[in-house]
Amino acid sequence: MPVAWVLILSSFLFSVGIYGVLARRNAVLVLMSIELMLNAANINFVVFNLLLHSISYIGQVFALFIITIAAAELGVGLAIVILIFRNRSTVSIDEVSLMKW
C-alpha cells in the first residue's frame, strides 16, 4: 500500500477537523473535531515510521503519547463545556464570546 494513500487519508481527516473547529457552533462538536485533527497527526506518525523503517518505533510511541494527552485534554475540555452549560444553559460558541472589551 503506497504511503501516498495514507497521507491523503490523514490530510482529509485533518481538513475535516479544521472545518469542524472553525465552522461548528456546538462546543462538543468542536472538541470532537480537535480529536479528528489529532488522529490525523497520529496516522502520519505511524506511517512515516513505517516508511523510514525505523526500528525504534518512535512514531508509534509518539502516537501513544498523543492519544494519552488527547484524553486528558478532552477531559478538561468537556468539564469546561459542562460548566458553561450549567451556567448559561447553552453550549453554542457564539453565545459565550464574553472575553472582549
Instruction: Catalog residues that contact another protein under the rule CB under 8 A.
Output: 18, 21-23, 30, 93-94, 97-101
Task: Tell me the closest approach of the beta carbon of residue 82 to another protein, in angstroms.
Answer: 17
Phi, psi of 20 (to 5 degrees): -60, -45
Cβ distance 25 to 93 under 8 Å? yes
The nearer residue to another protein, 37 or 47, going by C-beta atoms, is 37
Task: Tell me the closest approach of the beta carbon of residue 27 to another protein, in angstroms.
Answer: 9
Task: Tell me the closest approach of the beta carbon of residue 98 to another protein, in angstroms.
Answer: 6
**Total Cβ atoms within 10 A of residue 17:** 21
Cell matching residue 90: 447553552
